[in-house]
Amino acid sequence: MFSLTINGIEVMAKEGMTVFEAAEKAGIYIPTLCHHEDLSTFGACRVCMVEADGSLVTACRAPVEEGMVVRTDSPEVRQVRLSNVELILANHNQDCQTCDKNNNCKLQEVSAFVGVTPERMQSMRRFVKDEPVDDSNPFFYRDQTKCIMCGICIRACEEINGVGAIDFAFRGYETSVSVLGNKPIYDSRCESCGECVERCPTGALAVKDQSIAEREVKSTCPYCGVGCGVTLGVRGEEVVSVRGTRDHPVNHGELCVKGRYGFEFINHPERLTSPLVKKNGAFEEVSWDEALDLVADKLSGYREQDGADSLAGISSARCTNEENYLFQKLFRMAGTNNVDHCARLCHAPTVAGLATAFGSGAMTNSIADIEEAAAFFIIGSNTTETHPVIGYRVRRARKKGAALIVADPRSIPLAEQADVHLQLLPGTNSALLLAMAKVIVQEKLYDDAFVADRCEEFDEYIEALESVCLDELADITAVPKEKIIQAARIYAENTPSTILYAMGITQHSHGTDNVLALANLAMLTGNMGKRGGGVNPLRGQNNVQGACDMGALPNVFPGYQSVISPENRRKFEEAYGVELSGEPGLTLTEMFKGAGTGDIKALYVMGENPAMSEADTGEVKEILEKTEFLVVQDLFLTETATYADVVLPAASFAEKDGTFVNTERRIQRVRGVINPPGEARSDLEILCDLAGRMGMSGFDFSGPEDVMEEIASLVPNWAGVSYQRLNGDGLCWPCTDEADPGTPILYTERFLREGGRAKFSPIVYGPPQETPDENYPLIFTTGRVLYHFHTGTMTRRSRGLNALHDRERILMNPVDAENLGLNAGDTARVISRRGEVTVEVKPAPQIKEGTVFMTFHFAEACANVLTNTELDPASKIPELKVCAVRVEPA
């Protein structure tokens, strides 16, 4: 610690601190325009000048010294500061009255503080660059006439997001903040995350058409599984702004374009405002009484007549934990375990695979410690687009020197920065992972001690590994053997190494094997139970982890307590006061089969759009059409809802209280800030009302907090959870009692399997169910983009997001496109054994020859018309990532 005096006050400061930081700590204000606490020091504005030991220095760059004497207010300091601010003002557009940042402008604040006078302003040269406002981005303006060259936007782009879309260009007076080629920002690599806009001290970067919020409330982002803290700004009954919550442990105020700007869906005119019942083929608005009585009568009727297993419910990874809990409670109390949700289409293999290997099917580490990894192995996850805020962390760690291995059939943005990019053929993940394990074992790079102390069945695993041949495996994946060896060495030789994965691993007919292969790698190298390590499935939806935790699964009660176990059943029977079924129910994919054969009479879909997200949607739509009684509960009249007999209008995340669980198992609060539109109600209210009408008791809750109490009493891993405790940073489960601070990192001491050890599982490579042939010569694979979310029900209702990505285009290698005679912008028919879509072509060198890529965001050209319904036997996930197609000019 150093002791120095600032303006005569003694201040203690740590070595390495700057004068600026020491003063701030002591509560002494030093004006600045280019300094930002989140960013590296720049020292451009010269406004933070102070006198230190008699000479003038910039406080933001001057390190503290023992005995230093600092004055921030001497006549000389004042004069220099004033001159520097006046120099900035001389070239600044002074049209403050019409500026969006008026009264919220750092330059105004600093000018007032340093004492700029009206007389001086009058006498100043008013010469402003003649540059038009760049309004090409749908969410913000760039007005160079208001730019003061502080460089905060440039540093935010590079240091927070990591993309580096903007920088200073040109020289001297001409200097400006520019993208490559001085083009509009729309034509650049800008990801529209708004980190620069949020920090711009003047009106140079300002949000378009933003009303000022009357009040702000902290909540949780409703998009991906990262679970960023958001602060919703509200004016009347409208959400008018979203900011990242600065003190939030997940995102520290950072957001992506969807989270920050994609909230138009909340107050969208197409929101459902009244229950609808289909009469004579057309929807009619009806009262809640009529709609719910009809649903209750029908469900009770089928239950009487055809048995409880003729009912099936699809719960929602978009809804809160409390709602998922009640949903499964309602169906289980009705006597069936036919409850599932869209995790079946994303991380069912994770739940199955990681539970087998470690004892629990969730992300092992926390988002906060990802940045501490020495090496990243990212496989089947386009992290920067699908989990952007985790992507920022990966890019930052990479910049700080972490090694990066990317395995993906596409050259995704992170692949550009990788040490090794393993561009494998879709569906050959397990071959690649086996090959890496083979190298690690052959070269004795594994962690003997960890394997001996904490794992079991290693010998069986090694024996199985002996029979595989590295060259053969490399041939299967189409990745050069040398690259696989290099990747294996990087992964094994760096400590800690972390694995991040997503749908590229799971959506296969061998999804569970893929997950087990990843678990094997992490066990081999001892990368478990420590900071910066682990096996980390990145979950796609805001509450898909919670929906699983809450037992919206056919084989387990809440808390993964198997329905087969008589003991578990007794526990829940006691709590629910009715007899429960011990027969595991149907999975989502099986429910559709059942509805097709007529075994399922009534299907209840809450906040889910299977008509677009299921494999082979053509068949799904036929089944939905045929289903005797279909209830859909949603925000909008989705593709699925059009087939419904009854549509119930639900409240969005901004209109209700509850909790979500993010991908790192953090249970977080969601807070209602406005009322639902029209007669829409929260899913919780709807479910409780319906249960009452079906004659069930145990649904008279005063609100979600009450439901959480019941959950905590039944789920051991959540026993210590209460709303009061969730008010701060939330809690990572397991949290077993009120004193338990939660568990950000799993398995630090022992694994959750019986005996406490992790288990190696020998696996064999199996090819995808459909491989290219003469008639269908191309491999078709699917994914998502940064600007849209899943089936697009929310993001496609944002004009801005649509402006950034407005239509579906099939991506194919330029060589394939040329061979087929297709140019950019041409329309093509894409045909699989299950259906065909017509879509625009975009040649993209990022795509491997022989493969093509589409997203499932766009109803008018939905990838899932084509995808394969073949299932992974262990987890029943369809093989959404690989099928064979033929592309023809349309």
Partner 1 sequence: MEERIRTVLASFEGKRNDLIPMLQAVQDELGHLSDTAMKEIASYVGMPESKVYGVATFYSQFYFEPRGEHEIKVCLGTACHVTGGLQIVDAMERELGVKCGGTTCDQKFSLERVNCVGACAIAPVVMVDDDVYGRLEAKTVKEVLEKHAP
Which residues contribute to the site for partner 1 (CB under 8 A)? 158, 163-171, 178-182, 188-189, 416-417
780 within 8 A of 854, measured Cβ to Cβ: yes
Picking from 75, 93, 85, the residue whose alpha carbon sits closest to that of residue 120 is 85
Of the pair 118, 181, the CB lying nearest partner 1 is at: 181
Of the pair 138, 164, the CB lying nearest partner 1 is at: 164
Q: How far is the CB of 407 from partner 1 (least distance, A)?
A: 20
Of the pair 199, 531, the CB lying nearest partner 1 is at: 199
Q: How far is the CB of 100 from partner 1 (least distance, A)?
A: 25
Of the pair 404, 696, the CB lying nearest partner 1 is at: 404
Q: How far is the CB of 153 from partner 1 (least distance, A)?
A: 11
Of the pair 160, 299, the CB lying nearest partner 1 is at: 160
Pairing status of strand 55-58 against strand 167-169:
unpaired
Of the pair 125, 171, the CB lying nearest partner 1 is at: 171
Q: How far is the CB of 204 from partner 1 (least distance, A)?
A: 16
- DSSP H helices in 91-180: 106-114, 118-123, 152-155
Q: Which residue type, as a one-letter code, is found at position 686? A: I
Pairing status of strand 176-178 against strand 69-71:
unpaired
Query: Which positions ≥6 away from 55 have C-beta within 8 Å?
Result: none
Q: How far is the CB of 813 from partner 1 (least distance, A)?
A: 15
Of the pair 41, 411, the CB lying nearest partner 1 is at: 411
Q: How far is the CB of 453 from partner 1 (least distance, A)?
A: 40
Of the pair 115, 845, the CB lying nearest partner 1 is at: 845
Give residue for tokens 């059942």. 594
3-state helix, strand and coil shares in percent for the chain, rounded to the nearest 5? 35, 20, 45
Q: How far is the CB of 375 from partner 1 (least distance, A)?
A: 18
Of the pair 175, 565, the CB lying nearest partner 1 is at: 175
Can you point out the beta strands (E) in 617-754? 629-634, 646-649, 658-661, 666-670, 731-732
Of the pair 169, 468, the CB lying nearest partner 1 is at: 169
Structure tokens at 617: 């949607």
Q: How far is the CB of 169 from partner 1 (least distance, A)?
A: 4
Of the pair 167, 216, the CB lying nearest partner 1 is at: 167
Q: How far is the CB of 157 from partner 1 (least distance, A)?
A: 8
Measured CA to CA, the distance from residue 484 to residue 505 in angstroms comes to 17
Of the pair 14, 399, the CB lying nearest partner 1 is at: 399
Q: How far is the CB of 257 from partner 1 (least distance, A)?
A: 18
- N residues, the chain: 890
Angle (nearest 5°) at CA 264 between 262 and 265: 100
Structure tokens at 602: 């009534």
Give residue for tokens 């569970």. 512
* DSSP run (H or E) holding 182: none
DSSP structure class, residue 822: -
In DSSP terms, 842 is beta-bridged to 811
CA-based torsion, 178, 182, 185, 191: positive or negative: negative
Measured CA to CA, the distance from residue 608 to residue 702 in angstroms comes to 26
Of the pair 178, 869, the CB lying nearest partner 1 is at: 178
Indicate the Cα dihedral angle 445, 450, 452, 457, nearest 10°: -80
Structure tokens at 2: 């150093």
Cα→Cα distances 43→21, 48, 352, 377, 886, Å: 14, 9, 53, 37, 58
CA-based torsion, 192, 193, 194, 196: positive or negative: negative
Q: Is the bond preceding residue 496 a cis peptide, omega within 30 degrees?
A: yes
Q: How far is the CB of 191 from partner 1 (least distance, A)?
A: 12
Q: How far is the CB of 170 from partner 1 (least distance, A)?
A: 5
Of the pair 9, 180, the CB lying nearest partner 1 is at: 180
Q: How far is the CB of 125 from partner 1 (least distance, A)?
A: 24
Of the pair 180, 564, the CB lying nearest partner 1 is at: 180
Measured CA to CA, the distance from residue 294 to residue 234 in angstroms comes to 36
Cα→Cα distances 185→51, 135, 205, 291, 489, Å: 40, 8, 12, 49, 40
Of the pair 29, 168, the CB lying nearest partner 1 is at: 168
Q: How far is the CB of 376 from partner 1 (least distance, A)?
A: 16
DSSP three-state, residue 661? strand
685 within 8 A of 703, measured Cβ to Cβ: no
Q: How far is the CB of 68 from partner 1 (least distance, A)?
A: 36
Q: How many CB atoms lie within 10 A of CB 193?
A: 29
Q: How many CB atoms lie within 10 A of CB 174?
A: 8
Q: How many CB atoms lie within 10 A of CB 238?
A: 16
Q: How far is the CB of 197 from partner 1 (least distance, A)?
A: 17
CA-based torsion, 369, 374, 378, 382: positive or negative: positive
Q: How many CB atoms lie within 10 A of CB 799?
A: 10
Q: How far is the CB of 848 from partner 1 (least distance, A)?
A: 18
Of the pair 164, 335, the CB lying nearest partner 1 is at: 164
886 within 8 A of 775, measured Cβ to Cβ: yes
231 within 8 A of 826, measured Cβ to Cβ: no
629 within 8 A of 645, measured Cβ to Cβ: yes
Picking from 394, 360, 359, the residue whose alpha carbon sits closest to that of residue 501 is 394
- DSSP H helices in 455-602: 458-466, 470-477, 481-493, 503-506, 511-524, 544-549, 566-576, 588-597
Q: How far is the CB of 189 from partner 1 (least distance, A)?
A: 7
Of the pair 159, 198, the CB lying nearest partner 1 is at: 159
